[in-house]
Amino acid sequence: MNHRETLEFLKQRGNEVQTMHLGLHRTLAMMQALGEPQNSYASIHIAGTNGKGSVAAMAESILHHAGYRTGLFTSPHLVRVEERFRINGRRISPRRFAALATRIQKIENKLLQGKKLDRYLTTFEFLACCALLHFAEEKVDIAVFEVGLGGKLDATNVIHPLVSVITRISYDHQHYLGNSLTKISGEKAGIIKKGVPVISGCRETVPRRVIRSRAKKVGAPLLESFSECRIQINGEIRGRYSIDLQTPQRHYRNLRLPLAGEYQAQNAALAIMAIESLESFPVKPDDIRRGMAGVHWLGRLDEYKSRRRTLLDGAHNPDAAQKLRDYLIQRKETEVHFVFGAVQDKNIREIGAFLFPVAASIHLTPLTNTRTASTDEIADRNKRFRSKMKAHPSMRRALAAAWEECSPKGLVVVTGSLYLVGELLPVIQKHTTPIKKKK
């Protein structure tokens, strides 16, 4: 397959959430057929509801700046599928991705014919297999894997990492993971393996209890960042913080975080504690500083000077929406115009309850995704904010209308879905450059 054919092949396979079929047996069969490539390099495994992508990006950047050859697998992508596969911070080329996908497809067909697979790989399983093989062939020293959905039955859980990390856990993907925090936490705690250290960022009672129980059951040493670390906020510039961080091993003074949001201090603590646990990959304090400074993570509190000042944030569950609202209040934004779209299975009512009270206007849009909620559905779930709402037939029309309504002192916020952020990011970048951080 060439690149165009590869993209069409993935499109035909279907939306990766709608086609989700949790289980490890297909990925394990593929790994066996490929010669167990996932065992040829070290790895870090990261699960959680929110923050796992940021933690993964931080950990990979630190290791890369320490001189190690790194791999990074994350999901979903914003604009191009190649964003998911990175070596030393650089995404895979379209040609290389197409060649890799062609090899995976051929092995898949062979296993199906031999009845060693019960069905075609799901979209996410297919992409995970590409990453697992890619990092082996690129001879990385260590790879960082972000869980796609859940943990226990996620395709990435075929690795045996040096450390497992679990970020904050809250409600999301209940259709697949269960309708209680106990069930959701149990799925995410499924990445914890016998004897493998685990770093947890969960403060809430239920997730803490589940994670502690799982760690004890399999004999995994457990460190909890909220009790093992001390964080002191020193200052803030444009939503980006400098902190003093005391971990069990070191004291980092005036550590500057490149990603916006006070909660990134907790994510930084998790990433640094995970790195500190890697005895076979020693990292110096200066590597951590340089690695943190080199982190880039688009679409999360990501602000641009465009036709109007525009903030992109892929908040797609209530916990993330609350953090976005807190950020807007902390920044004293008094005129906020939302461009909002979401998928049907999200808690749109609770997301709206957090965000919409601070809105001057709300521009609703459907997504170019088979799971999209209609503008009527969004409005119906947030009836008390109807007077602020305007429905648009497309994402670009909604953005243009928000820019038009926003005053020069206001802020347009694109949120509700990473699909929405990914669609509008190129439009915004076309008219602008990212706001430069003050040194």
DSSP string, 152-219: TTSGGGGS--SEEEE-B--S--HHHH-SSHHHHHHHHGGG--TT--EEE---SHHHHHHHHHHHHHHT
Per residue in 396-421, pLDDT (tens digit) is 999 999 999 999 999 999 999 999 99
Question: Bridge partners of 166?
Answer: 47, 200
Q: What pLDDT is attached to residue 171?
A: 77
Average pLDDT over residues 304-315: 95
Is 201 in contact with 166 (CB distance < 8 Å)?
yes
Average pLDDT over residues 209-220: 97
Residue 436 has pLDDT above 90, yes or no: no
Average pLDDT over residues 12-37: 89
Q: 3-class DSSP state for residue 279?
A: coil
Q: What pLDDT is attached to residue 403?
A: 98
For residues 222-236, b (16+ Cβ closer than 10 Å) or e, as one string? bbbbeebbebeeeee
Q: How many whole angstroms separate alpha carbon 238 and alpha carbon 353? A: 25
**Cα separation of the two ends of the chain:** 46
Residue 316 DSSP class: -
Residue 117 DSSP class: S
Burial classification of residue 183, based on how many CB atoms lie within 10 Å of its CB (0-12 exposed, 13-18 middle, 19 or more buried): middle
- H/E stretch holding 27 reads helix 25-33
Q: What pLDDT is attached to residue 370?
A: 84
Burial classification of residue 56, based on how many CB atoms lie within 10 Å of its CB (0-12 exposed, 13-18 middle, 19 or more buried): buried
pTM: 0.93
From residue 137, alpha-carbon distances to 75, 107, 330, 381 in Å are 21, 16, 46, 48
- H/E stretch holding 327 reads helix 318-330
Per residue in 118-162, pLDDT (tens digit) is 999 999 999 999 999 999 999 999 999 999 989 999 999 999 999
Residue 229 has pLDDT above 90, yes or no: yes
CA atoms within 13 A on the CB side of 125: 26
Residue 437 has pLDDT above 70, yes or no: no
Domains of the chain (ranges; CATH) run: 3-293 (3.40.1190.10), 302-432 (3.90.190.20)
Average pLDDT over residues 236-250: 94
Average pLDDT over residues 365-390: 95
Share of the chain above pLDDT 70, in %: 97
Residue 23 pLDDT grade (very low, low, confident, very high; cuts 50, 70, 90): confident
Per residue in 71-105, pLDDT (tens digit) is 999 999 999 999 999 999 999 999 999 999 999 99
Q: Average per-residue pLDDT in the chain?
A: 94
CA-based nearest residue to 247, from 221, 267, 272, 265: 272
Residue 345 pLDDT grade (very low, low, confident, very high; cuts 50, 70, 90): confident
Q: How many whole angstroms separate alpha carbon 124 and alpha carbon 20? A: 8
Residue 435 has pLDDT above 90, yes or no: no
Angular region, 195: left φ>0, alpha ψ -120 to 50, beta rest: left
Residue 177 pLDDT grade (very low, low, confident, very high; cuts 50, 70, 90): confident
Q: What pLDDT is attached to residue 134?
A: 98
